[in-house]
Amino acid sequence: MSEIIVAYWSGTGNTAAMADYVGQGIEESGKKARVVSISDITPDSLKDASVFALGCPSMGAEQLEEGEMEPFVEAVKAFAAGKTIGLFGSYGWGDGEWMRIWEADMKAAGARVVGGEDAICNEAPDEEAVEACKELGRDLARA
């Protein structure tokens, strides 16, 4: 059975925790998940996948993390057309603007974004966010 990759960047662990819950949701639905930091894979490893998830917190000023994640996502955008992608991440003092921008960006690249901006949370995931992450995983497994 092919695995669904859940690739994330996380500075202080909140988005990493979310990634684990997305992975749990995938596995609850009978599919295999591979939860991995983007430092440990290349964008090319997503090229042949029709479904995957990307996670990143709000950094900079409502931006993706610039050093690693932004170049990673730029590379993914080149082959994102027709892919089904789940986006998730944590934020702090903002209102989730970075995720609205990110979702619009991936849609503009031709991706189908599953779950929209549902899987975002303020700092560490609370019960509601845990459920939203698992739901995203379940949706990806069904896609």
Ligand X SMILES: Cc1cc2nc3c(=O)[nH]c(=O)nc-3n(C[C@H](O)[C@H](O)[C@H](O)COP(=O)(O)O)c2cc1C
Q: Which residues bind ligand X (CB under 6 A)?
A: 10-15, 57-62, 90-94, 123
Shortest distance, position 93 Cβ to ligand X, whole Å: 5
Shortest distance, position 28 Cβ to ligand X, whole Å: 23
Distance separating alpha carbons of residues 87 and 76, to the nearest angstrom: 13
Shortest distance, position 87 Cβ to ligand X, whole Å: 14
* Comparison of 53 and 141: residue with beta carbon closer to ligand X: 53
Shortest distance, position 103 Cβ to ligand X, whole Å: 15
* Comparison of 83 and 86: residue with beta carbon closer to ligand X: 86
- Beta bridge partners, 37, equal 8
How open is the CA angle 106-40-61, to the nearest 5 degrees? Answer: 45
Q: Does residue 122 sit in helix, strand or coil? A: strand
* Comparison of 89 and 141: residue with beta carbon closer to ligand X: 89
- Beta bridge partners, 4, equal 33
Rg (CA), the chain: 13
Distance separating alpha carbons of residues 6 and 82, to the nearest angstrom: 18
* Comparison of 8 and 52: residue with beta carbon closer to ligand X: 8
